[in-house]
């Protein structure tokens, strides 16, 4: 099927919820993608932060092929080895105690909200609780996750959403303090805001919030769906700070391509859940958890975190130079392989022009280009990206 036919037929049957680019992607290799016409693209979005190990990773693919021939799915009424290994990997990497596997990041956020509310209910005997979320945050598209997403434009057409949610300014500790009361069950935030424009939590802010949560026995939920799994040079972004959350959410690079997410919690908070409180049919099946287990193994074998630290610093250096010499760039934020350039104008045309020149970039909001390459990206590809980017400004 040629590119034009594929796009035309797709427009006739798919819901129009995405502003798709006129490209039909066909295959990938390393940090490059190829369309059906054979054109090559350097990928600096990694499927919105998913394909951390790059495309056509032989060891990863072989693990999935082997599991297909053994067992794709059973149910969570039974044990299976891949799920055990994946859970042990996540516990070891995160410092959490217990894991629940989901099908997506959105579902991980839903589960985290439920667990925090159940913990509050068991503690107080009341279901009348409050959650503090952050302005400009993004946690997902389902009704619960949307309720704690701090962008009114995403929420207003779907209200009423779940109640008991108030919003505070990100990186404003005094504003968070002003929103806390006796009904506050949880505070939820992205450790590094992604969709909101690539804003890292300041050390003072996040460590201050963590201290308040510990003092008042408020559940601290950190959304690590985009910024976790090695993207900042630590396995999870919060490990760049001196804190320990009560619940974390994970997805995207957790499975490096298969649809899987998870929320993990400390023993104290996880104990609030009892049989029947939460469940999923597909979540944590042997196929997706075989991928998760292999991802943790390959992160260690291929020294992925070391690569992010070294080449993430190189990317920062190159983007910082570019920001200083480009009048239309107003800010450069982020670290590791999660960085953003904010422009004084919308960036949609920049992304479109980059695509024409064989570079895949995505926006974070209207004015910021975000850089989310596969975590195996090397200096020579960063240089290649910079050359194309300069042509597009």
Residue appearing with tokens 């690539």: 198
Q: What is the mean predicted confidence (pLDDT) over 293-313?
A: 98
CATH says 303-370 is which class?
Answer: alpha beta
- Token pair listed for 390: 């300069």
Under the banding of pLDDT at 50, 70 and 90, the label for residue 356 is very high
Query: Running DSSP on this structure, what letter comes out for residue 212?
Result: H
User: What's the rounded Cα separation, in Å, for the pair 251 and 153?
Assistant: 24
Q: Is the pLDDT of residue 52 over 90?
A: yes
What digits encode the pLDDT tens for the residues 170-215?
999 999 999 999 999 999 999 999 999 999 999 999 999 999 999 9
Identify the CATH assignment for 60-301 out of 3.40.640.10, 3.40.50.2300, 2.60.40.1180, 3.40.50.300: 3.40.640.10
Percent of the chain with pLDDT over 90: 98
The per-residue pLDDT for range 91-121, each reduced to its tens digit, is: 999 999 999 999 999 999 999 999 999 999 9
Q: Determine how many CB atoms are found less than 10 A away from the CB of residue 275.
A: 6
pLDDT greater than 90 at residue 309: yes
Tracing tokens 């995403």 back to the chain, one arrives at: 154
Rounded mean pLDDT, 31-58: 97
What average pLDDT score do residues 337-361 get?
A: 97
**Angle, alpha carbons 74-78-82 (nearest 5°):** 70
Measured at the alpha carbon of residue 127, what is the angle toward residues 123 and 132, in degrees to the nearest 5? Answer: 85
145-180 tens-digit pLDDT:
999 999 999 999 999 999 999 999 999 999 999 999
Q: What is the mean pLDDT of residues 63-79?
A: 96
**Residue ranges per structural domain of the chain:** 60-301, 303-370
**How far apart, in whole angstroms, are the C-alpha atoms of residue 38 and residue 34?**
6
Give the span between the Cα atoms of 354 and 51, in whole angstroms: 20
Residue 362: pLDDT over 90 = yes
Q: Rounded CA gap, 204 and 305, in Å?
A: 25
Q: State pTM to two decimals.
A: 0.96
- What pLDDT score does 326 carry? 97
Contact 158, 146 (CB under 8 A): yes
303-370 matches 60-301 in CATH topology: no
Which of these, 23, 56, 53, lies nearest to 40 by C-alpha position? 23
Tens digits of residue pLDDT in 128-147: 999 999 999 999 999 999 99
Instruction: Answer for the pair 117, 185: CB distance below 8 angstroms, yes or no.
Output: yes
Residue 294 has pLDDT above 90, yes or no: yes
Q: How confident is the model at residue 359 (pLDDT cuts 50, 70, 90)?
A: very high
Instruction: Tell me the DSSP string of 7-48.
Output: HHHHHHHS-S-S---S--EEEEEBTEEEETT--EEEESSHHH
Looking at residue 117, what is its pLDDT?
98
Taking Cα atoms as reference points, which of 226, 213, 222 lies closest to residue 180? 213
Give pLDDT, residue 122.
97
Tokens at 357, concatenated: 């020149």
What is the per-residue pLDDT for 393?
Answer: 87
**Whole-angstrom Cα distance, residue 100 to residue 24?**
35
Q: What is the pLDDT of residue 1?
A: 86
Q: What is the pLDDT of residues 223-258, one digit of tens each?
A: 999 999 999 999 999 999 999 999 999 999 999 999
Task: Kindly report the backbone phi and psi dihedral angles of residue 34, in degrees, each rounded to the nearest multiple of 5, phi listed first.
Answer: -130, 140
């Amino acid at each position: 099927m040629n590119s034009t036919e594929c796009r035309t037929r797709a427009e006739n049957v798919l819901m129009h919820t995405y502003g798709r680019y006129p490209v039909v992607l066909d295959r990938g290799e390393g940090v490059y993608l190829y369309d059906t016409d054979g054109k090559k693209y350097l990928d600096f979005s990694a499927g919105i932060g998913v394909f951390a190990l790059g495309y056509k990773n032989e060891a990863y693919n072989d693990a999935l092929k082997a599991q297909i021939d053994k067992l794709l799915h059973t149910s969570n009424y039974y044990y299976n080895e891949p799920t055990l290994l994946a859970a042990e990997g996540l516990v070891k990497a995160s410092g959490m105690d217990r894991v629940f596997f989901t099908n997506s990041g959105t579902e991980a956020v839903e589960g985290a909200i439920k667990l925090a509310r159940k913990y509050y209910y068991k503690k107080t005997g009341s279901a009348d609780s409050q959650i503090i979320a952050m302005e400009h945050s993004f946690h997902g598209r389902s009704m619960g996750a949307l309720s704690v997403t701090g962008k009114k434009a995403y929420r207003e057409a779907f209200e009423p959403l779940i109640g008991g949610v108030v919003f505070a300014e990100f990186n404003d500790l005094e504003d968070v303090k002003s929103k806390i009361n006796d009904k506050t069950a949880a505070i939820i935030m992205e450790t590094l805001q992604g969709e909101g424009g690539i804003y890292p939590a300041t050390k003072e802010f996040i460590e201050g919030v963590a201290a308040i949560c510990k003092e008042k026995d408020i559940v601290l939920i950190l959304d690590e769906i985009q910024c976790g799994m090695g993207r900042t040079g630590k396995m999870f972004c919060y490990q760049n700070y001196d804190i320990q959350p009560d619940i974390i959410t994970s997805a995207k690079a957790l499975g490096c391509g298969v649809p899987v997410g998870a929320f993990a919690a400390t023993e104290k908070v996880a104990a609030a859940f009892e049989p029947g409180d939460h469940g999923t049919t597909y979540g944590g099946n042997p196929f997706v958890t075989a991928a998760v287990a292999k991802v943790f193994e390959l992160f260690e074998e291929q020294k992925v975190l070391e690569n992010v630290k070294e080449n993430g610093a190189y990317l920062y250096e190159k983007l910082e130079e570019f920001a200083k010499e480009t009048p239309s760039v107003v800010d450069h934020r982020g670290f590791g392989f999660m960085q953003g350039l904010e422009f004084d104008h919308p960036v949609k045309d920049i992304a479109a022009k980059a695509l024409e020149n064989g570079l895949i970039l995505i926006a974070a909001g209207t004015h910021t280009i975000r850089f989310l390459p596969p975590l195996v990206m090397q200096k020579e590809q960063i240089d290649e990206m910079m050359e194309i980017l300069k042509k597009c400004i």
